[in-house]
Structure 1
Amino acid sequence: MGNTGSAAQTRCSRRDCRADATWALVWNNPKLHTPDRRKVWLACDEHRQYLTDFLDMRGFLRETVPMAEFEG
């Protein structure tokens, strides 16, 4: 869903959201990814909890990092 890099790519990963991301949700799917593999969804303040719950419910969420501290 979300990527980091250019300004256009720092938007929230929630579908149809155009807000700037303020959080990086770091995750992996242990059924598909090696333990060291990390994927990232970006979240605005409004959608952080929704995306966190989605990943956490599946056991995918590894950490939530403020964008200012994220080193993607």
Structure 2
Amino acid sequence: MGNTAPDAHCSRKSCKAPAEWALVWNNPKLHTPDRRKVWVACDEHRDYLANFLDLRGFLRETVPMAEFEG
């Protein structure tokens, strides 16, 4: 999951909506502290994907795609 191209679509399964948000995360059990992975989300699925990551302690930040420098 995760595509940060300008024409990226939401990382939620089967969603083809344009990505509006970058959800920056890492799994501390697998990744070094400086490693960052990105899922992208449309407005509708932002909270769903952010909650999924946050419940696991993975979410680091949520950034509008227009401001994301990945």
Normalising by structure 1, report the TM-score: 0.94
1:23-51 superposed Cα distances (whole Å, 9 cap, x missing partner): 00000000000000000000000000000
Match of 2:37 in 1: 39
Structure 1: gaps of 5 or more residues: none
- 2:62 matched to 1:70? no
Runs of 4+ in 1 over 4 A off after TM superposition: none
* Offset at residue 67 of structure 1 (A): 0.4
- CA RMSD of the aligned region, Å? 0.8
Q: Name the aligned partner's letter for residue 24 of structure 2.
A: V
Q: What is the total number of aligned residue pairs between the two structures?
A: 70
Q: Name the aligned partner's letter for residue 4 of structure 2.
A: T
* Offset at residue 6 of structure 1 (A): 5.3
* Offset at residue 2 of structure 1 (A): 1.3
Structure 2: gaps of 5 or more residues: none
Aligned mates of 1:5, 1:64 — CA distance in 2:
17
> Alignment identity in percent?
79
